[in-house]
Amino acid sequence: MSGRRIGVYVCQCGGNIGDYVDVDKVVATIEHEPDVVVARSAMFTCSDATQQEIVQDAEEQKLDGLVVASCSPKLHTYTFRDVAKRAGINPFQYTQVNVREQCSWTHTDDHEGATEKATRLVRAGINRTRLTEPLEPIVVETTPKSLVVGGGIAGLRAALGLAEIGLSVFLVEKEPRLGGWVASFGAMYPHGRNGAELVAKLEEAVRANPAITVFTNAEVMSKSGSFGNYQVTIAVHGERLETITVDVGSIVVATGFETYEPAAGEFGYGIDGVVTLPQFKKMVDGSAGPLTYNGRPVKTIAYVYCVGSRQSKDVEGGHTYCSRYCCTAAVHAALEVAAKADLSVRQYHLYRDMRTYGKYELLWNESREKGSLYLRVPDDEPPAVEKIASGGLKVTTRDLLTGGEEVAIPADLVVLVTGMVPRENDELVSVLKLPIGIDGFFNEIHPKLRPVETIVDGVYICGACQSPKNSAESVTSGLAAVTQSGAILKRGFAELDPMVAMVDTDACTWCDKCLEACPYAAIEQVDEDGKAVASVIRTACKGCGGCVPVCPTDAVDLQGYTDAQVKAMIDGLLEVTCS
Amino acid sequence: MTALANPRLAVELDRSDEFNADACMNCGVCSAICPMGVDVQPRRLFRYVLLGMEDRIAAETETVYSCLLCKMCEENCPSGVHIAENVRTLRHHINRTVFGL
């Protein structure tokens, strides 16, 4: 007995846990653990009623430790930290035990085993909680300035948004001009407004805003400092190279995408008259009247969808994701063609699945009424594109909607509806330590709940560098990054988790092994009474624990997950249960 | 056999205001509720028109004439395809091209 007073709550999660784990049995077993003064089961621990019950128990029973056994800590760590706070318990003396993803859902075929495992997991959580110390969040003052990397539509709008909430902004663009891809677009869906005009307006507003400093022909060279206070060096290429270092509190990455370039021969690419969607878009934007190609009127167009998207896993380096914007972009291009000609232009769309989601469905409907015919083609039989003797093109495919009839379409022009691919940006990735997802795009922490945050605090991603997006979605995410920046910079300070490494300077001999192990450059050498020792930069440390096992003198420990706590958890997991 | 896509037929048949085969979204309700259980569902017939597969339509003369024009399909069509009117248009076409009437 350590004199601690711990409350334990085991969740049924409706039937998610309760159908496989005998929650009442778990509670009956662990309520006899030392220091446990309250143990209860709940249908939904995250519900308001149960949260209130925890607060009430804490007051009545003078709890100083809390264990919630429910779902993944990814979901509800912050929920129950808040509950702990309201209950007067230090939020870092609460332990989240995962008995759903790591127990009930994985052992649906073994109720007894799942119950036994849940008991052990909860006991481990109690053992950790017993050894917790109250911790306070690390408070850092933040610099009220932001850096935006990339001057496309997302970066421009983000820069303007940041300036509008009263922050100073540095906007870095690699190219000599601002505007990105959208600056090269004519009419864009859904409103048909001109892309170049759209970003020109945005650029004008950005240039006119005194809070925004624009660097074109510029690149991010290095980053130092830590959350809330980064020093970023920017190289500006001009007649001579200039480097500028700026202090910023947040970094918004909006570096955009590349378009997929088909290989020679892929769907006939390389044959005269076979063009990609961006090339086609330029042709349509540039023609005042009916579309012509090589001086001849274009009467029939065949669109081949999903070129470079939704590729098979077997394709080396294939892009397996849906590129999201291309269906609607192609449908819109077809409408532009119809608007510039009469309706006699016949347009055949060879698709795998039409994904003109949401409001864009209306465009699809309209195109159907204006000379577009949609043919569903098999996933595993790509349409064949070839040149025919008369000089035109022929696309052969099977139309699944007529039960797989083989159809040959004579076409004047074949448009390969190409998607977005991630841009190669190795230098920026290594400077900013940007996380890359399986598709090669930058990765957010949580696609729903933290959609623009990265694992690097204060570094946000938006626009198509994160995933294929249309311009509206890019701007939306750019503004989300503005809000996130505002949340940490407008308050003047930010709070960080105190679950970071700490050094016992008596034991440390500065061998620099921890420095080598640290992926976040969070260890520095300091002098303590004439002795060189390691010190943790608490605002840079992510609490990964990489430095702990490499220390030859056991001088490093992780606050909140100390060796002693982890050992106690292992003991709890291994304890023999008598039932 | 590969059929050659040819918009001419659709354009020709399109003269009737009522002919709206391209509104079909291939849900299959018409096929499911047809009391005649016709082999070639209206949706496939209409796609033959849209793709210009004249010989396929000629081959389905029996089917086109086995329709009762009961409009059960039309009544239940979520896309508002004028199925009965479309079938009439097809009959008119077949009368000319197949029967020479």
Domain boundary assignment for chain A:
6-135+568-574, 145-256+423-494, 260-419, 501-559
Phi, psi of A170 (to 5 degrees): -110, 125
Lowest mean pLDDT among A54-58, A192-196, A272-276: A192-196
Q: Within an 8 Å CB–CB cutoff, is residue B3 touching chain A?
A: yes
Task: Please answer yes or no on whether B1 and A399 come within 8 Å at the CB atom.
Answer: no
Mutation site, B22, B45, B56, interface A, largest A CB count within 10 A: B22
CA dist A224 and A350 (Å) reads 50
The single-letter code of the amino acid at B33 is I
Residue-number span of the structural domain to which B26 is assigned: 8-97
Structure tokens given for A233: 């060096």
Contact between chains at A368 and B22 (C-beta distance less than 8 A): yes
Question: Is A368 close to B43, i.e. CB distance below 8 A?
Answer: no
A317 or A578, greater pLDDT: A317
Report which DSSP code applies to A267. G
CB neighbours of residue A435 within 10 Å:
15
CA quadruple A82, A85, A89, A91: dihedral sign: positive
From the CA of A365, how many Å to the nearest CA of chain B? Answer: 8
Q: Does B14 touch chain A (CB under 8 A)?
A: no
Asked whether residue B53 is domain-assigned, the answer is yes
For chain B, positions 32-61, list CB contacts with chain A under 8 A: 43-44, 47-48, 50-51, 53, 56
Q: Residue A379 is inside which H or E element, if any?
A: none
At residue A74 the predicted structure's pLDDT band, cuts being 50, 70 and 90, is: confident
Per residue in A543-561, pLDDT (tens digit) is 999 999 999 999 999 999 9
Summarised one tens digit per residue, pLDDT across range A518-531 is 988 899 999 999 99
CATH number of A6-135+568-574: 3.40.50
Name the strand (E) or helix (H) holding A416. strand A413-418
Contacts of residue A504, defined as CB under 8 A and 6 or more positions apart, other chains included, come to A554, A555, A556, A557
Average pLDDT over residues A262-277: 96
Question: What pLDDT shows up at residue B15?
Answer: 63
> Between A369, A401, A409, which is nearest B5 by CB?
A409
Predicted confidence (pLDDT) per residue in A349-404, tens digit: 999 999 999 999 999 999 988 889 999 999 999 999 999 988 899 999 999 988 89
In a domain, B1, yes or no: no
DSSP letters along A463-490, please?
Answer: GGGTS---HHHHHHHHHHHHHHHHHHHS
Query: Which residues, other chains included, contact A472 with Cβ-Cβ below 8 Å and sequence gap of 6+?
Result: none
pLDDT digit string, tens, across residues A486-511: 999 999 998 889 999 999 999 999 99
Average of pLDDT values for A306-312?
95
CATH topology of domain A501-559: Alpha-Beta Plaits (3.30.70)
Chain segment A468-491, per-residue pLDDT in tens: 999 999 999 999 999 999 999 999
Do B2 and A401 count as a contact with CB atoms less than 8 A apart? no
User: What residues of chain A lie within 8 A of the CB of B43, using their CB?
Assistant: 401
Contact B65, B91 (CB under 8 A): yes
Judge whether A428 and A251 are in contact, CB under 8 Å: no
d(CA A335, CA A482): 35
Tell me the CATH number for domain A145-256+423-494: 3.50.50.60
Tally of domains in chain B: 1
Say if B3 falls within a structural domain.
no
Residues of B in contact with A410 (CB under 8 A): 4-5
Q: Which amino acid is at A43?
A: M
How high is the pLDDT of residue B2?
A: 78
Domain of B57, CATH number, reads 1.10.1060.10
* CATH architecture designation of domain A260-419: 3-Layer(bba) Sandwich (3.50)
Calpha distance A347→A370 (Å, rounded)? 9
Does B78 map to a domain?
A: yes
Average pLDDT along chain A: 94
Q: Could you tell me if A310 and A257 are in contact, meaning their C-beta atoms sit under 8 angstroms apart? A: no
pLDDT-based confidence at residue B16 (cuts at 50, 70, 90): low
A8: exposed, middle or buried (C-beta count within 10 Å: 0-12, 13-18, 19+)? Answer: buried
- A410 lies within 8 A of chain B by CB: yes
pLDDT confidence of residue A577: 59
pLDDT of residue A442: 97
Is it the case that residue B101 has pLDDT exceeding 90?
no
A515 neighbors A490 (Cβ within 8 angstroms)? no
**Torsion A123-A128-A130-A136 (CA) sign:** negative
What's the Cα-to-Cα distance from A380 to each of A383, A398, B5, B48, rounded to whole Å?
Answer: 10, 11, 22, 23
Predicted pLDDT of residue B57: 87
A8-26 pLDDT, tens per residue?
A: 999 999 999 999 999 999 9
The residue of B1, B4, B48 whose CB has the most chain A CBs within 10 angstroms, and thus the best one to mutate to test that interface, is B4
Which amino acid, A571? D
Q: How far is CA A217 from the centre of its chain?
A: 27
Taking only the tens place, the pLDDT of each residue in A205-219 is: 999 999 999 999 999
On the question of pLDDT at A300 being above 90, the answer is: yes
Confidence of residue B10 (pLDDT cuts 50, 70, 90): confident
Closest CA to A162 of A494, A460, A465: A460
Does the distance separating the beta carbons of A346 and B26 come in below 8 Å? no
Whether residue B2 lies inside any domain: the answer is no
| Domain-located, residue B60 | yes
Q: Would an 8 Å CB–CB cutoff place A377 in contact with chain B? A: no
Instruction: Give the span between the Cα atoms of A100 and A12, in whole angstroms.
Output: 9
Does B22 sit within 8 Å of A401, measured CB to CB?
no
Q: Closest Cα partner for A350 from A305, A380, A392? A: A305
A501-559 matches A145-256+423-494 in CATH topology:
no
Nearest to A407 among B3, B26, B43 (CB): B3
* Nearest CA distance, A386 vs chain B (angstrom): 14
Q: Does the distance separating the beta carbons of A346 and B7 come in below 8 Å?
A: yes
Report chain A's C-alpha Rg in angstroms: 30
B23 vs A contacts (CB less than 8 Å): 368
Start-to-end CA span in chain B (Å): 29
Distance of alpha carbon A189 from alpha carbon A486, whole angstroms: 30
pLDDT tens readout for residues B43-60: 888 888 889 888 888 888
Q: Per-residue pLDDT averaged across A253-272, rounded?
A: 96
User: Taking CB atoms and an 8 Å cutoff, what residues of chain B touch A373?
Assistant: 22, 50-51
Residues 6+ apart with CB under 8 A from A325: A419, A420, A468, A469, A470
